[in-house]
Amino acid sequence: MDLIRIIAAIILPPLGVFLQVGIGKHFWLNILLTLLGYIPGIVHAVWIIAREPQRV
């Protein structure tokens, strides 16, 4: 399932973060980073997916 979230994070970074942690501070931060630059949004999203345990 992490592979699907990473692919989603590359295509649309906030979606990858949303699938990992839901709507919260990381989600809004990722939207801001994605608006400031696509690459920072991707880096943040992949970092969150790799670091955070999945919330069910």
Q: Reply yes or no on whether the pLDDT at 54 is more than 80.
A: no
In a domain, residue 13? The reply is yes
Give the burial class of 39: count Cβ atoms within 10 A of its Cβ; 0-12 exposed, 13-18 middle, 19 or more buried.
exposed
In a domain, residue 56? The reply is no
Instruction: Report the predicted TM-score, pTM, of the whole model to 2 decimal places.
Output: 0.86
Maximum average pLDDT range among 20-24, 29-33, 52-56: 29-33
Please give the average per-residue pLDDT across 33-39, as a whole number: 95
CB 53 within 8 A of CB 45: no
**Closest listed residue to residue 2, CA positions, set 15, 19, 14:** 19
- The structural domain count of the chain equals 1
Per the structure, the complete domain to which residue 40 belongs is given by 2-51
Half-sphere exposure of 27 (CA within 13 A, CB side): 9
